[in-house]
Amino acid sequence: MQFSSADTHRSPPTLATLILLSGLSALSMNIFLPSLPNMAEHFRTDYRVMQLSVALYLAMSALLQIVIGPLADKGGRRPVILWGIGLFLLVTLGCIYAPTAEIFLFFRMCQAVIAVGIVLSRAAVRDMYQQDKAASMLGYVTMGMAVVPMIGPAIGGVLDMAFGWQANFWLLFGLGAMALLLTYKDFGETAHKSGKTLTQQFREYPELLTSPRFWGYALASGLSSGAFFAYLGGAPFVGTEVFKMAPTEVGIYFGAPAVGYFFGNFISGRYSVRFGVNRMVLWGCWLNAIGVALSLIIFLAGLGTAISFFGLMTFVGLGNGMSIPNATAGSLSVRPHLAATASGLSGAIMLGGGAGLSALAGALLTPETGALPLLWLMLVTSILGILAILVVIRRERQLGL
């Protein structure tokens, strides 16, 4: 198979294809999380070492997104996404057959190449639609994406109990092969090649980096989602060590934010055009903070349970479902001719911060501390997300936008 964008007769990708590509990227992030304790036992290492598979993946994903955007603006969306999925298949096999924890973590980092699915799905939407309509369509794309991580950990827990942790990665390999075929058949080119060299593409980064509005949107998205990424790094520990839950139980409870995320994205898809991206981001950031604050108050009162901890995380998902697609559409619309670059850079900011917060959450938690350090960390990032979008709103009033 030759990965080429020369098939100019191909139509732009359907919404279903974009949803599936984003979903695969999300699934690869969290399907194996209920297996972390068993993986630590398999590799005869500490849980904290295996927990690095989350932080390292997010950090590598952030770095790759900085490169993916300019590559796709230069050479087109189609060839970059095809090569990315192909490489994902190879390194997934590396994860399955890794003989040591160190080799596994290396291939796990390389799995982050599937970030092409998220970056270029978003860029393709912005290629095809204007800002508010793009926010609406991104809401639907990420609504579909929310379904996968909602059921992913539950499936991962069942597969682990039945066949061992490697089964999770075999599932990723099979779905990746299907995504490669679907992308080859359906993902037509959506952008004109810039005609610039990669060096020239990178020289256009300052155009984004000097824009206060871009930074405001990117940080609103990054900080709002920061609460979720901290949860991603700390919740498996809270479930297994604090509440003494089995991997299957953790997998089921872990999907609570994705339930809210699904409905948040539905609200974005339905109402972004009516209310505008700024209001949707602000409301989403507030819901995010309120959910974490309520959970923290309950734990400080000594009444925290697994149901209260995981249940209130639906507010985090709901807020993220409203803030992320709208903030993303806003950041991509600051400089529309740099849509893929903006998608990659904003994604890198979000995931880079997420990697740090995920690792920090894992480092702060012990059976003695319970869930409190995680909840404080989530609350601080949520509040900072509110401040970031308020900066954008103030800036646009100054510019008369």
Q: 181-239: per-residue pLDDT in tens? A: 988 887 777 666 656 666 766 677 777 778 888 899 989 988 988 888 888 778 888 88
Are residues 347 and 115 in contact, defined by beta-carbon separation less than 8 angstroms? yes
Query: Using 50, 70 and 90 to split pLDDT, how confident is the model at 47?
Result: confident
Residue 20 clears pLDDT 90, i.e. is over it: no
Angle between helices 116-128 and 47-75 in degrees, nearest 10: 40
Q: Where do the H-state alpha helices sit in 76-195?
A: 77-97, 101-110, 116-128, 131-163, 166-186
Q: pLDDT at position 383, please?
A: 94
Q: Where are the domains of the chain?
A: 15-190+202-399
Query: Using 50, 70 and 90 to split pLDDT, how confident is the model at 43?
Result: confident
Q: pLDDT at position 352, please?
A: 75
Query: Using 50, 70 and 90 to split pLDDT, how confident is the model at 390?
Result: very high
Q: Which range is least confidently modeled, 32-41, 140-149, 218-227?
A: 140-149
Q: pLDDT at position 388, please?
A: 92
Q: pLDDT at position 401, please?
A: 66
How many CB atoms lie under 10 A from the CB of residue 129? Answer: 15
pLDDT, average across residues 50-76: 80
Q: What is the pLDDT of residues 7-17, one digit of tens each?
A: 444 677 777 78
Burial grade of 398 (CB within 10 A; 0-12, 13-18, 19 or more): exposed
70: tokens are 């300019």
Fold of 15-190+202-399: Growth Hormone; Chain: A; (1.20.1250)
pTM of the model: 0.71
